[in-house]
Amino acid sequence: MSFAFTLNKKILQYKLDRAIGDKNMLKDLATFMRTRIYTNTKRGYYAGIRKNLAKFKPLSDGYIQMRQFALKDEIKSNSKTVFGGKRSAKSKRKKALKQFGEFFNAKKSNLTLTGEMLNALDTSIDTGAPSVSVFVKPSSRSDDSGLTNLDVAIKVAEDGRPFLGIDAKGINTMTRIVMAAVRRKLKGSR
């Protein structure tokens, strides 16, 4: 006795295309990519040449001092509460760091002082291709430079601080997200 199984290639190809072009999976990938780039950059790292993350080029001593003075000025300006009372040193520093972003460190490069450029990161998905991309929106900045966030991102990358990339660990996580979504779609569809 024997058992034969034939597979219709068109049906399988249709199911795979539908699984890979799933809008929810692409949204999950886009969110993961944006968050990964944001947190790594704020910590002072970018996707390195090899598997590991690489540190950005060190900041100049003058720029480090300027960042330290900016933080001190912000701490001084947050010394009083809304009702006129005094804040504790810890509370003043915590409030000041909100101005510069979650992972701010005066000695570590996070590309921009205020974090406006990283806050301008956006994602797009295309279910037809299927593709996911992360980019910097050309939105205006609060400083007097006259540059958009996209202009600053281009300048930063040209100055040797590339930041729009995913490291090997991030790519492995993205691969697992895709595989899990494809399995779910193939298992649940007819």
Phi-psi region at 8: left, alpha or beta (left = phi > 0; alpha = psi -120 to 50): beta
Q: Is the pLDDT of residue 121 over 80?
A: yes
**Three-state secondary structure readout of the chain:** CCCCCCCCHHHHHHHHHHHHCCHHHHHHHHHHHHHHHHHHHHCCEEECCCCCEEECCCCCHHHHHHHHHHHHHHHHHCCECCCCCECCHHHHHHHHHHHHCCCCCCCCCCCCCCCHHHHCEEEEEECCCCEEEEEECCCECCCCCCCEHHHHHHHHHHCCCCCCCCCHHHHHHHHHHHHHHHHHHHHHCC
Instruction: Tell which wins on pLDDT, 106 or 64.
Output: 64
pLDDT above 90 for 30: yes
Q: Which tens digit of pLDDT belongs to each residue from 81-118? A: 656 666 676 666 666 666 776 667 777 776 766 677 88
- Tokens representing residue 97 in the block: 């760091």
- Stretch among 31-35, 126-130, 158-162 having the lowest mean pLDDT: 158-162
Any idea what the Cα angle at residue 8 is, between residues 7 and 13, rounded to 5°?
Answer: 110
Query: Rounded to two decimals, what is the model's pTM?
Result: 0.75
pLDDT-above-70 percentage for the chain: 76
pLDDT at 174 over 80: yes
pLDDT of the residue at 28:
92
pLDDT, tens digit, 9 for 90 and up, residues 67-86: 888 777 776 776 666 566 66
